Amino acid sequence: MHLENRTFDELQVGDSAELKRLCTFDDLLIFANVSGNHNPMHIVDPDGPGPREPVAPSMFIGSLVSAVLGNILPGAGTLYRRQLLDFSDRAHAGDELLSRVRVTGKNEAEGTVTLATEVRRVADDVVIMRGEAVVEAPREKLSYDDEDLPGLLVQRHRHFEALMQLAEDLPPLPMAVVVPEEEKALGGALLAAQRGLIEPVLIGARAKIEALAEAGGCDLSGIEILDEPDHAAAARRGVALVREGRAGGLMKGHLHTDVLLRAAMDRDRGLRAGRRLTHVFVMDVPGLSHPLLVTDAAINISPDLSCKMDIVQNAIEVARAIGIDPPRVAVLSSVETVNPALPSSLDAALLSKMADRGQITGGYVEGPLAMDNAVDMGAARTKGLGESQVAGRAEVLVAPNLDAGNMIAKQLTFIAHAEAAGVVAGATAPIVLTSRADDETARLASCAVAALHHRWLEGGSD
């Protein structure tokens, strides 16, 4: 947008200007970070002491006036001398606000201009703030194009907050926690229990678990502990609890993943349900308007077409379990066209056709798609895919192999600052594979996904 300032000589008493601004939750979080004012009255935190609808900080309201002064009237070159603020009402996230200034006087000797200032709530025309500004007006004429500032992404994991709220509305999921003999493994299970997500049964060396709890100040009152020092035996015991109906899910503690999965995949005493066990990451990516599922990044190294059918179907069911229904599934390759020399593109095309023929159900499946045109609508339209149900708006990304899937998930985590929850699907009950790198949010979200997936397995689509 082309902008031109008003010099001191051009300004006349009675001149006015105004700007409208929608106050958002992210505005308040950014202001809290920039200003250092972390008053819970102004920050969204459903579990904290602040209100559900946070109040906009008064100085944020005041800053809206400076936007009019610096951009329009007088505009570029304006410097503050003084600002009086009188607040008569409050604004909240979601309110559209109108900030207005009007010239009331000029001081030739000082080169200053006095302006009446106000901010109103547009919906009901209520005055939020009135005041007076004294500024040094520019003497030099400036004309410029208003170039976009670099964008900001708020690192706020709202999708996980919503998932945990959904899961907290369910009865706690009885969870067999296998070998919680490490601080994060035990602490994550106990925290999930405190949040009402799970009802843990701890399986491992009792002495180690109790010593760890005592050292960390954790209360084990009312929590069942099954003493089993051997990791493989503990894994089998956890699986047995699920088979007996005493647990609705399995959670990895401080043991090797293959030890736990070996027990879960045992043909006679495991948790097989007719499909391959596959891992699904559920990721909360800042700036993305929906959760993003990535599969398979943890179990199946080089899946063939038959395995990929199960990977896709399992991912669809996890997506539907957490409320994405029907999910849009992009089967990834390095290109969006079928290339006989590129096996991943052939598999993607076949999976897409299988979905068309009803061999894969419950979601839109399309491939091959490259990463850019799977998630970005601009890239999809550039490639002529704008009419696709999936391209540009994928909610599930199916990687061609474990290497690619793992790289996607870790790039999103460590570069895009995503949080990653995970669950193993395809078994008779959800299996949570936690990592030592997982923080509290990831562990809680994994338990939430497991609880929601368990409900899906119990009730299907009903």
| Nearest CA among 279, 285, 299, 264 for reference residue 453 | 279
Whether pTM exceeds 0.95: no
Second CATH level (architecture) for the domain 158-459: 3-Layer(aba) Sandwich (3.40)
Edge to edge, the sheet with strand 112-121 lists: 16-22, 96-107, 112-121, 126-136, 79-87
Residues 6+ apart with CB under 8 A from 446: 421, 422, 423, 432, 434, 438
Q: Where does the pLDDT of residue 42 fall: very low under 50, low under 70, confident under 90, or very high at 90 and above?
A: confident
Residues 6+ apart with CB under 8 A from 289: none
> Distance between CA atoms of 57 and 240, rounded to whole angstroms?
55
Percentage of residues in the chain having pLDDT higher than 90: 80
Q: Is the pLDDT of residue 111 over 80?
A: yes
Domain parsing of the chain, residue ranges: 2-145, 158-459
Query: 167, 282 in Cβ contact below 8 A?
Result: no
Q: What's the mean per-residue pLDDT of the chain?
A: 92
206 token code pair: 């009792």
Q: Is the pLDDT of residue 290 over 50?
A: yes
Query: 395-409 pLDDT, tens per residue?
Result: 999 999 999 999 999
Query: 376, 392 in Cβ contact below 8 A?
Result: yes
Query: 311, 278 in Cβ contact below 8 A?
Result: yes
Mean pLDDT of 27-35: 90
CATH number of the domain at 2-145, please? 3.10.129.10
Q: Is the pLDDT of residue 192 over 80?
A: yes
Query: 299-324 pLDDT, tens per residue?
Result: 999 999 999 999 999 999 999 999 99
Query: 130-184 pLDDT, tens per residue?
Result: 999 999 999 999 887 766 667 676 766 788 988 999 998 999 999 999 999 998 8
Angle at 439 between CA 205 and CA 256, to 5 degrees: 40
Mean pLDDT of 399-424: 94
Query: 73, 17 in Cβ contact below 8 A?
Result: yes
> Distance between CA atoms of 24 and 405, rounded to whole angstroms?
34
DSSP code per residue over 322-386: TT-SSPEEEEE-SSSS--TT-HHHHHHHHHHHHHHTTSS-SSEEEEEE-HHHHH-HHHHHHTT-T
Phi-psi region of 342 (alpha: psi -120 to 50; beta: other; left: phi over 0): beta
CA separation, residue 346 to residues 333, 350, 353, 367, 405 (Å): 9, 6, 11, 9, 18
- Residue 287 confidence (pLDDT): 81
β strands within 41-192, DSSP E? 79-87, 96-107, 112-121, 126-136, 143-145, 173-178
- Residue 93 confidence (pLDDT): 85
Query: 398, 367 in Cβ contact below 8 A?
Result: yes
Q: Is the pLDDT of residue 51 over 60?
A: no
